[in-house]
Structure formats: structure tokens, C-alpha cells
Amino acid sequence: MKELAPQTTQTMDKASLPVKHVAVIMDGNRRWATQRKLPKLLGHQEGVKSLKRLVKHVGAQGLEFLTVYAFSSENWHRADEEVSYLLKLFVQVLSDEVAELHKYKVRLRFIGKLDSMPEDLRQKMQRAEETTRANTGLNLQVAINYGSRLEITEALKKIARDTLAGKVELDDINEDLVSKYLYTSEIPDPELLIRTGGEMRLSNYLLWQSAYTEIYICDALWPDFSPELFDLAIEEFKTRHRRYGS
């Protein structure tokens, strides 16, 4: 893959963006390959290239948080060949790309049930987080082995244990406290969620965090998602009137 261009040539004031946090459901890799009569696994390779273009673009624009859905807790039910390929692809991408992300001040974090991932991948993720922890540019969260219902269930278990241990009082349990027990405890809720591939569902992604998130559905399959399409989503967001129930 080509190296990221230095962000200094395109950087915009963060105040010029109407959002701090964008979440993305990167859907359509397999359909993209099928439409071109290519092996489905090749679609995932092209999806990585699309993510890299997006990270470069939003980093240059000054976006503070980008969270992408890379591998759901339900994806384990896919064919063994595809799951094995995806896990190897994650390891390869971390080996190839972390140094460059670090160079351009991207902070990389992983959210999900990470203790269920293979040991070599867990080590790569931990090293990537440690390497980029102090970076002050784009905060890139990668949801891997992630499911929102699982996340909320795990949070409730932790709250129950802390309540039984006397660390939490029953009357202290409110929305803010629940949020602190989620994988995204240090991350603001997304203002905008983009889903590619034309499907109109959340697919068990950031259900709690997206309670008042604006949703934008893009028909383009993920490998075809371009910076220009991201900008169109931002322009559409600007026209929304966010009422928060009022």
C-alpha cells in the first residue's frame, strides 16, 4: 500500500467539522468481490485499502474519533476459511501499518471481547496500543470480536459484581455509570454513523452509544467508499436537525 501523505498539507481546523466522532459499518467486501467474479477473500484486502484512505482523509480534516466495525462477535459463524483469513489479515495489517499510523500521530485502540482472540493477534493489538498511546491525532477505534449486546451484558455483570462488593451503591446506577463500564468508556458517543453497502440495520453495533446518533446509509460497497463519499455524508449531516426527543 502507498504511504499516507503528511497531514500538514490538508489539515483543517477541528472546529470546521460538525462532528467529533464518526462510526462506520464497513459492509460489502464480499459482495464487491462477487460482483467482479473475484474470490470473496480478495474483497477484504480491498476493504483494508479503503479504510486506509479514510483514515488519511479524516485525519487531514481533523476528525477526533473514528470507530470502525472490523469483526463482529457473530462473524465466527462464517466459513472457517474466511475466519482464518480475516485473523491472518488483521495480524498482517498490524505488522505493516502501525509504524505509519504512529508516524502520523494516530492513536489506535481496539474494542470488543479481546481475550477470545488468538494469542498472536492479541499481542499485536497490545503492542499497537502501547506504541500509539500518547499520540494526539486521530483516535482510531477498531471494533473486533465486538457485539453491542455482548458489551452491554458484560457491563451489567461488572456493575453487579462491583455492587455486591460495595464499590457501587444501587442508587448510583444511572446512564452515566453504565457508559463508564462499556468498552467505549473514554470515547464520546458518535454523532454520525455511516453504513456502506446499502443495508439499513445496525447489526448489533454501538447500540447504547448510538441512541441519538444520526445514521447515513451509503449504497457504495465498502471497497468503493471514497473520501468524496465521506464528505457527502458530512454535508448531509449538516442538514439534519438533531432534536434529542424535544
Give the tens place of pLDDT for each residue, 113-161.
999 999 999 999 999 999 999 999 999 999 999 999 999 999 999 999 9
Distances (CA, A) of 196 to 21, 88, 102: 17, 24, 27
Confidence of residue 98 (pLDDT cuts 50, 70, 90): very high
* Annotated catalytic residue 27: yes
Q: Which of 158, 98, 154, 148 is nearest to 123 (CA)?
A: 98
DSSP class per residue in the chain: -PPPPPGGGT---GGGSS-SEEEEE---HHHHHHHTT--HHHHHHHHHHHHHHHHHHHHHHT-SEEEEEEEETTGGGS-HHHHHHHHHHHHHHHHHHHHHHHHTT-EEEEES-GGGS-HHHHHHHHHHHHHHTT--S-EEEEEEEE-HHHHHHHHHHHHHHHHHTTSS-GGG-SHHHHHHTSTTTTSPPPSEEEE-TT----TTSSTTTTTT-EEEE--S-GGG--HHHHHHHHHHHHT----TT-
Mean pLDDT throughout 44-54?
Answer: 96
Mean pLDDT throughout 10-29?
Answer: 80
Instruction: Give the pLDDT of residue 242.
Output: 85
Q: Which residues pair with 65 in a beta bridge?
A: 21, 139
Instruction: Give the pLDDT of residue 30.
Output: 96
Q: What pTM does this model have?
A: 0.91
Which among 27, 29, 139, 145 is annotated as catalytic? 27
Instruction: Give the pLDDT of residue 25.
Output: 98
What are the structural domains of the chain? 20-147+189-238 (3.40.1180.10)
* Annotated catalytic residue 75: yes
Residues 21, 83: Cα–Cα separation, whole Å: 29
Mean pLDDT throughout 94-116?
Answer: 96
Which among 75, 135, 162, 189 is annotated as catalytic? 75
